[in-house]
Structure 1
């Protein structure tokens, strides 16, 4: 690997920042007067304690796609809700190897944020006895929203869709992972991991070989209130996939985090290691983190029952046209690692070409038409993304792109964008075929930097932090072989 301009996580980096500098490390924002949220937190803490829960993991996802955490004893939950838990903003410029770069606005040891758990998502963890979990929103010391909060960005985009167009998004992630025996950190670039299965792709043999393990995953997710739609073996060695019911955009991203950490916990209890990296073996098929979405207004699915392509309404077509137009730039959010481009290759069902198609698994944007009794199931799937992505950035970025396709708010004269002709079959064998999507993180970053849509939606502090992290990881892996990139990242996600 090459070297990059970065600072060890424990060191002092550049001093530019967005956060207030009014407190020391152990300081905190004065606790608000007791309100409904704190009363709810007290009641929740009592219920958790009665159920044998001792700690609550409070998580957020950084711009490198890693889930970070601070934990509080269960009896401290009301204080966490009231005044937040302190955390440095520097994690927004951490790289995948825990080194730190810096952007124009964020970086270095100064500043402090408050992590405030979302009680609506508070969950007792079935595979981690004695623990609960909640995602957090991040705030400045004075209680104002933190400009670089990825979860806040996803929420803003969902609220914009409702306010400007009367559209609600339903979204859901497919989670793919590879399970191995022993820690992946101990497997060198020249070595092959050991898989617990030997059966064929999608084969019942694989399910039989790991039936206790998969049963426990289903049981844990069900106990946590997660509605599972499907669970099955996938193509690559040791690879599986779980799909859960759709939710609102922020809820879908929350579920992506919860599902991943549940699978990780169940795996460890079975003596296994789960990897959600884009690739474990760079010569094989990688793991995606496909995002499904549909648009709704007053209980009607706008992806069906219209006069547009395959039954789309004009709003659905315009939204998807906006997403398709921004896909090269969106890769910087949805395929954010140099390892992502070891997966994003033609003829692997990864969606490596800049096109859309009807139920075409080689298209980067796949449309699934609803018919008859299944009309409400009509949706689109963004296939060119993986689980190295921060799910909050991905859902927010996709909504921002779709809203740009819709154009002016509802009730105005301006028509929305239109989709080009769909692509059938494998685009790699078409002549002429569609353009490929960016084949490297450097090319995706260039498209991201040139996107006024994503820059305006993210805001300068968050946009700049993402750009800094992507540039830092490009430099980090400069000169590394495919196997070295895979070995360095497969144990991180």
Structure 2
């Protein structure tokens, strides 16, 4: 059988499976399916089809312009050397393995979409394909990576107040705030459970009206998909309670913003590489190189993981945001935190990158982190001495990470590791969008920056 015939057979099999899924969804009262992808600015975009059109979408895709590569968060359109303009078309192809009936949006299902050209070839600007490719590269190197995210958000009262009024008057981490919002939080946990997502914990956070939920780690692609489901579930439950939710990096200027901390672990031949090794703090030598690669690239990675001008209002010293370019053992002020975990809990050792937030495209972010780690492991890099305590106090010579999106974009532009991993199309789109975002809010005061991005995420 020739390649063309095999491809046609595969597409017909996909269409057959999609018909089965559509029949199941219809029986469950689902009337429409949201095909979702995340653009370069970190905004989740969507096209939807009636349930009866799912098989057609799976076989032929749904049209979408390539120009979404260079959309900014305020819906302006910029351009890069290889992206932009009105020409061309891509197909959004649903990944049926991730099809999810939305518990908080009755009658709807959600599915992540891969972006392909008309002949079925992955688009070089597809962030989801980039993550799939980087995960395959990690496995080819003998690693089995797992990732998980902490999702922070602020719940606000309805209305047009600017800045908004936070819901939940209790103190940080306070039981009184949980009691006041217990019905709301219960409905979030229930909806996530009904969507077969495993919640590890949920609690009030530091800022007024702020909460955090953590879900179980998974392979990088699934973890990124599930992060999007978590956010949109929270958003839907919040609206059903007559409230508003924002995941923006900075909700009110001068306050502690919303992070989206990335946790990662590595196994090789079923061995935990973050525990029991000869390296610093029990790291395997390969794991040390992997983390050293991430640490080396953090200033450039910040353009991927903290992609909004508002991100740099959040990245302040002494608020556990990870503003310093250092690592530490269980140090919540370090940008890269090593967590050994309980000694009797297998697989609990992991590393946390604290300087990222929810404006990031999670597929781009996870893929870029893997690329940096793989480069470090291949080069057998070593970690510097860890920092203990708040760097602003005990180690003032520790360098800060970039303090603006422009600075981070400059470091991203100079990173040969990220350029090689992303490819010219995706690297150019990221850089163009970051430059445009920075320019659009240049010279604005902090509250104006916060207001401009508050409801975009």
TM-score (ref. length: structure 1): 0.90
8 Å CA contact 1:441, 1:474 repeated in 2: yes
Q: 1:292 aligns with which of 239, 263, 271?
A: 263
- For 2:422, the equivalent position in structure 1 comes to 458
- Partner secondary structure for residue 344 of structure 2: helix
Provide structure 1 residue ranges, at least 5 long, that are not aligned to the other structure.
1-30, 408-414
* Residue 375 of structure 1: how far off its partner (Å): 4.2
| Runs ≥4 residues deviating over 4 A | 31-34
Alpha-carbon distance in structure 1 between the residues aligned to 2:131 and 2:177: 37
Instruction: Show the counterpart of 1:345.
Output: 316
Match of 1:326 among 282, 297, 317: 297
Give the C-alpha shift of residue 300 in structure 1.
2.0
1:12 is matched with none
SS in 1 for 2:387: coil
Pick from 146, 152, 156 the counterpart of residue 170 of structure 1: 146
Structure 2 distance, partners of 1:318, 1:469, is: 31
Q: Could you list the runs of 5+ residues in structure 2 that have no partner in the other structure?
A: 1-6
Deviation track 1:375-397 (CA, whole Å, cap 9, x = no partner) reads 42000000000000000010000
**Structure 1 equivalent of residue 4 of structure 2:** none
Are the aligned partners of 2:387 and 2:395 in contact in 1 as well (CA < 8 Å)? no
Does the aligned pair in 2 maintain the 1:181–1:193 contact within 8 Å? yes
Deviation at 1:168, TM superposition (A): 1.0
What is the alpha-carbon distance in structure 1 between the residues aligned to residue 13 and residue 278 of structure 2? Answer: 47
What whole-Å deviation, never above 9, does each CA across 1:205-258 have from its counterpart, x for those lacking one? Answer: 000000010000000000000000000000000000000000111111111111
User: Which secondary structure state, in structure 1, belongs to the residue aligned with residue 347 of structure 2?
Assistant: helix
Match of 2:131 among 115, 132, 154: 154
Please say if residues 230 and 244 of structure 1, whose CA atoms lie closer than 8 Å, have aligned partners that are also in contact: yes
1:23 match: none
1:477 to 436, 441, 456: 441
1:316 aligns with 2:292: no
Output one character per residue of 1:50-108: Cα deviation in whole Å (capped at 9) or x when no partner: 00000000000001100000001111111111111100011111111111111111111
State how many pairs are aligned.
450
> What's 2:370 paired with?
399
Displacement, 1:430?
Answer: 2.4
**Partner Cα distance (2:304, 2:115) in 1:** 20
TM-score normalized by the length of structure 2? 0.97
Match of 2:64 in 1: 87
Distance in 2 (CA, whole Å) between partners of 1:371 and 1:279 is 33
Report the counterpart of residue 448 of structure 1 in structure 2.
412
Cα distance, 1:32 vs. partner? 4.4
CA distance in 1, matches of 2:161, 2:429: 31
Q: Secondary structure at the match of 2:345?
A: helix
Q: Which of 244, 249, 252 pairs up with 2:220? A: 249
- 3-state SS of the aligned residue for 2:397? coil
What CA deviation, in whole Å up to 9, does each residue of 1:344-395 have, x standing for no partner? Answer: 0100100000000000000000000134212420000000000000000100
Deviation of 1:298 (Å):
2.7
**d(CA) in 2 for partners of 1:370 and 1:223?**
29
In terms of mean alpha carbon deviation, does 354-363 or 94-103 score higher? 94-103
Q: Distance in 2 between matches of 1:419 and 1:387?
A: 27
Kept in 2, the 8 Å contact 1:187–1:487? The answer is no
Q: Secondary structure at the match of 1:255?
A: helix
Report the counterpart of residue 282 of structure 1 in structure 2: 253
Distance 2:290 2:142 in 1: 13
Q: Following TM superposition, by how much is the alpha carbon of 1:181 offset from its aligned partner in structure 2, in angstroms?
A: 1.1
